[in-house]
Amino acid sequence: MLIVTTETITGKNLEMLGLVKGSTIQTVNAIKDIGAGLKTLVGGELGNYNEMMTKARGLATDRMVKEAEGLGADAIVCVRYSSSSVMQSAAEIMAYGTAVKFV
């Protein structure tokens, strides 16, 4: 599945199939969350949260691709990601775009 952030794919005529999306809500365990809280006192990168967000983006992308495959898509254009805090230490990641078929 070709995934792009652009509206078009050079050299391809596209038939729009519709919006596709995938999302997940992720959190780190309480022990890691306490460690991250302590890390904020001295500053620096929060590795556990980076891991969590990387995993979440991958899951959201996979779910978006599965939805596009269900529509018979060849690609997804205009892909975007968004995130929001659901509760303390938990975030939702959403991947969305437009499923297209090459014609």
Which candidate, 41, 49, 58, places its Cα nearest to that of 88? 49
Residue range 64-92: average pLDDT? 93
Helix (H, G, I), strand (E, B) or coil at 59: helix
Please state the pTM of the whole predicted model. 0.83
Tokens matching residue 51:
């891991």
Q: Are 2 and 79 in contact (CB under 8 A)?
A: no
Residue 88: the pLDDT is: 74
Q: When comparing pLDDT for 15 and 34, which is higher? A: 15
As a whole number, the mean pLDDT across the chain is: 87
Over pLDDT 70: what percentage of the chain?
83
CATH of domain 2-27+53-102: 3.30.110.70
Q: Does an H or E element contain 100, and which? A: strand 90-102
Annotated domain spans of the chain: 2-27+53-102
For residues 61, 2, 102, 77, the Cα torsion angle rounded to the nearest 10 degrees is 60
